[in-house]
């Protein structure tokens, strides 16, 4: 009987457990497959750290946030034991015929390298940032937008009561999808995204015009936003396990600058990991379940080196090369359309 190992890698994301459940149910019931779960992302693959993954284990997990397998930002080649030979030997020792890697751009880049080194592997795209080019949407994004929109709504209460400018910082490393959607949904007066630098002068013009109309300005800023004179996004927390700068903090920089320039009392809130936590939305559970079922079909066909993806209403298969290194950013005309109503 064919046996596959599932791992979740990179940041946790609402809907991961729905993917795991969808894969196991489809695999057991339709294809007669067996599964094990690798604990802690690629670390589990390298060290052969597995847990049983049967139908009874995945019962009722779709509505749980996070991942029952655990995750890490750990590239498979960063440890001395992380060689293709060792990984293939560990897989053989566990009777694992192939790997299902659920993750974002860093995870897919590592999966692509493993594939080139002879490891049978497929992928499922995941990120709340929704920035993977090969798929129209990733699960987790919808939940994050709901949470961020609720935060905008709640911050407006304080803004209106105190006549303050409220700045909400949301996640979004390379792409401002969460900021755009939550900002539009919450009626923000300015939305600042990584794709489009804006000057402090412009931001303060928007804030002042809102104040002059007797309203409390609401600004949503993505963590990856830069002013025109910055060559990279603000980071003061070192590098993550995929060697990328840990972002966060631009909202705290922006708020006092707005206050100083406009005289409007300004407060910043960094939403942080609250966006990734808690119960996944129904939409994310459905997308995760569909991805899970589709990836079970993928490994049944031995179609290695592919990732499942959403195109329109359909789940399709795309090569890793389409997914790796291609960021799906907010189209500038879409941003400009929203920008015309700022202030």
Tokens of 199: 């000057």
For 248, the token pair is 């966060």
129 carries an active-site annotation:
yes
Checking phi first, is residue 240 left (phi over 0); if not, alpha (psi -120 to 50) or beta?
Answer: beta
| Contact call for residues 275 and 148 (beta carbons, < 8 A) | yes
Q: Does 112 bind ligand F6P (CB under 6 A)?
A: no
Question: Which CB sits closer to ligand F6P, 129 or 284?
Answer: 129
Q: How far apart are CA 16 and CA 327, in angstroms?
A: 21
As separate numbers, helices (DSSP H) first and strands (DSSP E) second, the chain gives 11, 11
Name the nearest CA neighbour of 294 among 276, 318, 328: 318
Binders of ligand F6P in range 205-224 (CB under 6 A): 223
- Residue 259 binds to ligand F6P (criterion: CB under 6 A): no
- Establish if 127 lies at the interface with ligand F6P (CB under 6 A): yes
Q: What is the smallest separation between the CB atom of 104 and ligand F6P, expressed in angstroms?
A: 5
- The upper half-sphere exposure of residue 239, i.e. CA atoms within 13 Å in the direction of its Cβ, equals 5
> According to the binding rule CB under 6 A, does residue 249 interact with ligand F6P?
no
Eight-state DSSP code of residue 157:
H
Q: Does 75 bind ligand F6P (CB under 6 A)?
A: no
Out of 5, 7, 11, 20, the residue judged to bind ligand F6P by CB under 6 A: 11
By CB under 6 A, the residues from 156 to 195 that bind ligand F6P are 171-173
Q: Binding site: what residues are annotated?
A: 11, 73-74, 104-107, 127-129, 164, 171-173, 223, 267, 273-276
Stretch that binds ligand F6P, among 27-35, 40-48, 121-129, 314-322 (CB under 6 A): 121-129
DSSP class of residue 184 equals H
Q: Does 108 bind ligand F6P (CB under 6 A)?
A: no
End-to-end CA distance of the chain: 62
Residues of this chain that interact with ligand F6P (CB under 6 A) are: 11, 73, 104, 127-129, 171-173, 223, 240, 246-247
Active-site residues: which are they?
A: 129
């Amino acid at each position: 009987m064919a046996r596959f190992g599932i791992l979740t890698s990179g940041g946790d994301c609402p809907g991961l457990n729905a993917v795991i459940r969808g894969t196991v149910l489809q695999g057991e019931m339709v294809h007669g497959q067996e599964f094990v779960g690798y604990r802690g992302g690629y670390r589990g693959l390298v060290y052969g750290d597995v847990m049983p993954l049967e139908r009874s284990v995945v019962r009722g997990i779709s509505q749980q946030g996070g991942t029952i397998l655990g995750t890490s930002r750990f590239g498979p080649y960063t440890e001395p034991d992380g060689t293709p030979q060792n990984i293939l030997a560990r897989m053989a020792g566990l009777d694992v015929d192939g790997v299902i890697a659920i993750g974002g751009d860093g995870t897919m880049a590592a999966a692509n390298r493993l594939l080139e080194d002879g490891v049978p592997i497929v992928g499922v795209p995941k990120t709340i940032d929704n920035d993977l080019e090969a798929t129209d949407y990733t699960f987790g994004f919808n939940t994050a937008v709901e949470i961020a929109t609720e935060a905008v709504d709640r911050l407006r209460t304080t803004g209106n009561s105190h006549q303050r400018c409220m700045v909400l910082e949301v996640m979004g490393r390379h792409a401002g999808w969460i900021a755009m959607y939550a900002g539009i949904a919450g009626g923000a007066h300015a939305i600042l995204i990584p794709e489009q630098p804006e000057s402090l002068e412009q931001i303060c013009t928007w804030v002042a015009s809102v104040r002059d109309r007797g309203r409390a300005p609401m600004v949503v800023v993505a963590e990856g936003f830069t002013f025109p004179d910055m060559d990279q996004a603000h980071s003061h927390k070192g590098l993550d396990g995929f060697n990328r700068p840990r972002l966060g903090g631009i909202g705290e920089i922006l708020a006092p600058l707005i206050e100083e320039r406009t005289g409007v009392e300004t407060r910043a809130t960094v939403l942080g990991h609250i966006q990734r936590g808690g119960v996944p939305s129904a939409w994310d559970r459905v997308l995760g379940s569909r991805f899970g079922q589709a990836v079970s079909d993928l490994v049944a066909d031995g179609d290695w080196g592919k990732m499942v993806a959403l195109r329109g209403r359909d789940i399709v298969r795309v090569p890793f090369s389409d997914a790796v290194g291609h960021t799906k950013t907010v189209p500038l005309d879409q941003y400009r359309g929203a920008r015309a109503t700022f202030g």
